[in-house]
Structures are given as structure tokens and as C-alpha cells.
Amino acid sequence: MSVDDRKAWERKQREKRIIDIALDVFLERGYDATGIPAIADAAGYNKRTIYLYFRNKKEIFLAVALRCMQLLKKSLGAAAELAREDRAGLREFAWAFFSFAEDYPEYMDLIMIYESRYFVYHETDKPTDFGHRHIACQKISDEIADLATAAIEKAIANGMFVTDLKPRQLMLLLWGQIFGVIQILRIREKHFKDAFGLGRSDLFNQFVNMVEKALSE
């Protein structure tokens, strides 16, 4: 390994360590209560060292959000591959989303923050500081949306879904519904079955059944 290669490797390792620690700090303190000083303290660095790798808190957060979305995409992609050839895979897709939210609830919180504050759905809304980390997040978010859209296109083509909406329009509607149900479950973590008379997975199953029935009529 050359000197330049070693320096590049060492820089990459330090950057990864900052992201690892920032993830823990964001989960512990929350996004708004986390600043560069808190991340620097947790990493054992001074603020100047952090700024050698990231321009601001937003860049650090985008690096953290990217990691969360990569894991989500992996889960959703695996679910889509498991779907039978004669099925669209939307049920498998929905359950993969539910399982991810149950297994990694804090990661889902960070993804929701990214979606609400930093996701760009139209070219004219791109911020002036649309750097490579933002581009990477945008790309994987679009890839996740493409997975869902492809499943919807398949469902429409084989007659499972009947709709006047275009696949991407229906994807947005379903995406919002799933996010909404997940958010309800997220803020009602304790005593859910006692309060509502059915378990969390039972409620989600009823939701999926309701959507499939509505779209098949």
C-alpha cells in the first residue's frame, strides 16, 4: 500500500468512526438537540477535526441517514425477490417495511427526519449546498421508491390492482399511508394491545388487507 493509499484508508476509517458515533448521538439526543460539539466530544475529537470531514451537522446527518436507508433498501429488495412470480410483491414489501420499523425504530425515526426535511422531489427545490452526501441520499431514496413503483406496475399489469392513478402516483399514496401507520405504532409503543384490542402486527395486517381489497375492486 502506497503512502497516499494508506492516508486515504485512514481518512476513510476516521470518517466512518465519526458517522458511527454521530448515529449513536443522534439516537440518544435527537436530531435537533445534537450539535457538532456533542459529536466531537463523543468521538474524542475537537470540533476542528470534525470539520475536516464534514462541513456542518447537516452533512453528518445525511451520512447517518444514508446508512439507515441502505439497510432499509436491502430489506425491501430482499422481500421483493422473495415474492412469487404471480404476485406483485407488495404484501412482502409492506411487511419488510413493517419489520424494519419494528427492528430498527430509531433508524426509521431518522429516515422520517430525512424525508421531511431534506428529500428533494423536484429539481427546482434543490438547495444550493446539494453536495455528494445529499446526492447519495437522494439516489437511494429514489431507488426505494422505484422498488415500490415496480411492484405496483406489476400489480396493475396482472389485474391485481384496479386504479385510475399512474403507478408513481399510487406509490406516493401508499408510501404515505404506510409511513402514517408506522408512525402511529411508533408513538404508541406501550400497552398497544391492551388499548386497542389487537397486536401491532395484527393491526398492520388488517391495514394491508384493507389496501389490497380496496385496490382490487
Which alpha helices (DSSP H) does the chain contain, by range? Answer: 3-29, 36-43, 47-51, 57-82, 90-103, 105-117, 132-157, 167-187, 192-196, 200-216
Q: What is the pLDDT of residue 158?
A: 84
**C-alpha angle 148/202/104, rounded to 5°?**
60
Q: What pLDDT score does 189 carry?
A: 83
Query: d(Cα 65, Cα 188) in Å, to the nearest integer?
Result: 23
Is residue 79 domain-shared with residue 165, that is, in the same domain?
yes
pLDDT of residue 55: 94
Both 16 and 92 in one domain: the answer is no
The whole-angstrom separation of Cα 29 and Cα 3 is 39
Q: In this structure, what is the dihedral angle of CA atoms 135, 141, 145, 150, given to the nearest 10 degrees?
A: 70
pLDDT attached to residue 82: 72
**Among 13, 38, 54, residue at a domain's last position:** 54
> Domain holding 139: CATH number?
1.10.357.10
One domain for residues 142 and 156 = yes
Q: What distance lies between CA 60 and its chain's CA centroid?
A: 16
Model confidence over 22-63: pLDDT tens digits?
999 999 999 999 999 999 999 999 999 999 999 999 999 999
Are 37 and 78 within one domain?
A: no
Question: Are 132 and 50 in the same domain?
Answer: no
pLDDT the model gives residue 197: 94
Task: Identify whether residues 69 and 41 lie together within a single domain.
Answer: no
- pLDDT confidence of residue 27: 95
The candidate with the shortest Cα–Cα distance to 130, out of 190, 79, 58, 203, is 58
Report the C-alpha gap between 77 and 61 in whole angstroms: 24
Smallest CA-to-CA distance from 95 within 213, 217, 216, 211 is with 211
48 and 63 housed in the same domain: no
Same domain for 116 and 66? yes
Q: Which residues of the chain have pLDDT under 70?
A: 1, 3-5, 83-88
Query: What's the total number of domains in the chain?
Result: 2
The whole domain housing 39 covers 1-54
Letter string b/e over residues 138-160, b meaning 16 or more CB atoms within 10 A of that residue's CB: bebbeebbebbbbbbbbbbeeeb
Residues 11 and 64 in one domain: no
